[in-house]
Amino acid sequence: MQFDKEVDASGLNCPLPILRCKKGLSDMAAQQVLKIIATDPGSVKDFKAFCVQTGHELLQLDEHEKSFTFYIKKRVS
């Protein structure tokens, strides 16, 4: 999947992956896609809830052995 920016939150535990995601999205334009990599198993439910609460769109979630890759499209303001 194509993306506009990548954030690596590997090795970080809640709430740091979400905070890195928020920071990454803050300087992006609407409809751009952020790729974020996390290793915290709780990040799956955290990112789903984050997208529901903020209006950003979780386009795709890829699960690998011990990591998760999220593609999040920034909402239109």
| C-alpha to C-alpha distance for 52 and 2, rounded to whole angstroms | 22
Q: Which residue bears the tokens 């999040």?
A: 72
- In Å, what is the CA distance from 2 to each residue of 32, 60, 73? 10, 11, 11
Given the residues 12, 14, 16, 58, select the one marked as catalytic.
Answer: 14
Is residue 14 part of the annotated active site? The answer reads yes
**Known catalytic residues?**
14
